Structure 1
């Protein structure tokens, strides 16, 4: 069938169809080709180029799957980092952002059978924080750079120091209260005011 002439109504209609995301099952990751329907995908799988590409993949399928998996993870994390930083986001919502790029690596070409399994993998490896939230699974990128680790350690150190200062002040206050009470209970001793009580200043009598 001849191709539609550039600028024709059919050509423009085909361009409009190609803009949106197509069905995943009609995408060939090996050839990086998206087909618009089942018949188109069938014709593609019988093409010489596809058969030749599949023969190359068949020589070492594990290598091909690992390459697709690594690329999928790399692109996924890069977008998560640049778009949301260390902010917690919905996993499904973010995946919709990821697949907007028509050139993205498809999940069915990786070693993970589902998005949930991929999220569990990232959580186990400490690549991301994955938790169950109100919107389902939520994912948070973890910055494991040396600068980020040092920054987090500095914050923890400041918090520990601040907590230590508060504890020391509390202990000193308790000691003062205890000493004041002990002094008040002993006979012949001048009663000392508690820290919360301000001592009264004796008023000087007027000179007659």
Structure 2
């Protein structure tokens, strides 16, 4: 009998623990359909717990597409279109809240910044496609006056992360196939203490196009005011 590779066995054992931990009827409400309250597009990064970051412990609450750089678009025959992972729950599952979630220290934004400032694409081709789509956003950001170009690279990258979240939310707000009654929010997930001392805090940086921190602060209960800080203002 062949020996099971160690990590494969770890995956199987982990799934077994998962199965045993589930309460009875855990999937009862979602076995035949789904109606997630929110679609949250995150960066494809193993450090971002896409459902747990919101405190959900039941299936069917969050539709979770992800890609390199939490980009809301894709390209089709040279045209930039809204990613199907975002559109599906909005058009077919009754979802009326869309969230863009960037994160501190984003490798995709870092790569796009390096390309925008003269370095080569990181490769391979499948990665380069998504980095290339971010490069114009980074170039626009660097010319916007919102980025402290004299700061250290870590600071610049994190400011670019926030700028990218704003840019992605704006694209959604202007897209014809995203209904006007869909609320669109932008967050930056901070697990590095960039915005403050609350590791794992999702900082609300965009509410339906509003990006001024003081204005956003007025939209949320006082207890969440520390989650409305910005690196751009």
| TM bucket normalised to smaller | under 0.3
- Point out the structure with max Rg over C-alpha: 1
TM-score by length of 1: 0.25
TM-score by length of 2: 0.23
More strand by share: 2
Q: Which has the higher contact order (CA 8 A, sep 6+)?
A: 2
More helix by share: 1
